[in-house]
Amino acid sequence: MKASSTEAADLYRQMLRIRRFEEAILEAFPRGLIFGTTHTYIGQEANAVGVLSQRQNEDIVISNHRCHGHFLASGGSMSALAAEMMGRSTGVCAGRGGSQHLHWDNFFSSGILGGTLPLAVGMAFAQKAQQSGQIVFAFTGDGALGEGVVYESLNMASLWTCPVLFVLENNRYAQTTPVEVNLAGGIGERFRSFGIPTDEQDTTDVAKIEACARSAVDHVRNGKGPYALIIHTYRFAPHSRGDDMRDPAEIERFRQRDPLKIQATSLKKSVLAQLDVEVRTEVEDAFNQAETASMADPASLTYPIDLIR
């Protein structure tokens, strides 16, 4: 089924929002505006946007350290995300979580590699028990496949027919380690050995990812149990901010399949120009709002300690 021009433009707009937001984050760092570290989603935008186009309002999304794209594609507020990273009281978690630790509505992220999968499976099991009809989208990277807890989670997800879609974003590196150096066998086999069906795609075409996500989500939503969508992708920016040991020629080669460039080919120049202005304005406004907000109140951090006492 071919997307209408409005749908095609919306997919592009959502990817552009993530791209421009992440670029602004990288620019804000040297200005001393951001606390902690950050992992940008530049180059991987088609995954979040394509997959989460199939999300229904009450569905749950669980993400990892590279979570900004997933958050924005889930409908999260751009200004609250910028504020969170600047430690402001108006941030997603009132400025206490930073780049990696977000909780808003049914969106959760954590920087503990692999640790998000048992959470995802537990939440999916709860949805099944409550017959809520909600499903869980669990985004994870290739590097997390080195964590043992991932396999306990896959086992339980399959055994208990949990409504969870695993989205494995293989950007071919875990920090600076190429996937070939730390992963024996294949990625798909790891899921299939637990009886979890897979779809494996090497693409940055958002329309294609959306179509694959549609069948994957159909499977999960219809009570058939977990499913894994494995997407071979690439990040254009460093792992976090400056740690890049990849061959520049390799990065350049992958830039030829920039998801934004691919999607732009199906849109008119006038539409692209209009979206460019709209998104630039949105990002500028988001950063201005965040920058002028009050800092997080350190006193609010004592809340969990009081609870223990």
Residues near Mg ion, by CB under 5 A: 141-143, 171, 174
Name the residue nearer to ligand TPP (CB basis): 37 or 289.
Answer: 37
What is the spatial distance between Cα 117 and Cα 121, in angstroms, rounded to a whole number? 6
Which residues lie across from 166 on neighbouring strands?
138, 228
Q: Using CB under 6 A, which of 56, 175, 215, 292 touches ligand TPP?
A: 175
- Locate all alpha helices (DSSP H) within the chain, ordered by sequence: 5-28, 45-52, 68-73, 78-85, 116-130, 149-159, 179-182, 187-192, 206-221, 248-255, 259-264, 269-292, 303-308
Q: Find the binder of ligand TPP among 13, 19, 55, 65 (CB under 6 A).
A: 65
| Minimum separation from the CB atom of position 204 to ligand TPP (A) | 15
Query: Cα 261–277–270 angle (5° rounding)?
Result: 60
Candidate list 53, 123, 239, 290; residue touching ligand TPP; CB under 6 A: 239
Contacts of 296 (CB under 8 A, 6+ apart): 87, 88, 89, 91, 94, 95, 96
Residue from the set 43, 95, 143, 259 that interacts with ligand TPP by CB under 6 A: 143
* Residues paired with residue 138 on neighbouring β-strands, in sequence order: 62, 166
Q: Would you say 87 or 143 has its CB closer to Mg ion? A: 143
- With CB under 5 to 8 Å by kind, the binding choice for 17 among ligand TPP, Mg ion, none is none
Q: Does 112 bind ligand TPP (CB under 6 A)?
A: yes
| 142, 154, 217, 238: which one binds ligand TPP (CB under 6 A) | 142
Q: Which of residues 28-47 bind ligand TPP (CB under 6 A)?
A: 39
- Count CB neighbours of 302 within 10 A: 11
What's the Cα-to-Cα distance from 213 to each of 103, 113, 122, 128, 178, rounded to whole Å? 24, 23, 22, 20, 26
Min dist. Cβ of residue 115 to ligand TPP (A): 6
Q: Which of 38, 47, 99, 171 binds ligand TPP (CB under 6 A)?
A: 171
Q: Which of 13, 17, 66, 88 binds ligand TPP (CB under 6 A)?
A: 66
User: For residues 13 and 39, which CB has a smaller minimum distance to ligand TPP in the complex?
Assistant: 39
Q: How far apart are CA 73 and CA 76, in angstroms?
A: 7
| Ranges within 189-228 binding ligand TPP (CB under 6 A) | none
How far apart (Å, rounded) are the C-alpha atoms in residues 281 and 151?
44
Residue with Cβ nearer Mg ion (146 or 223): 146
Q: Is 173 in the site for ligand TPP (CB under 6 A)?
A: yes
Phi, psi of 88, deg, nearest 5: -95, 155
**Site residues (CB under 6 A) for ligand TPP?**
39, 65-66, 111-113, 141-144, 171, 173-175, 239
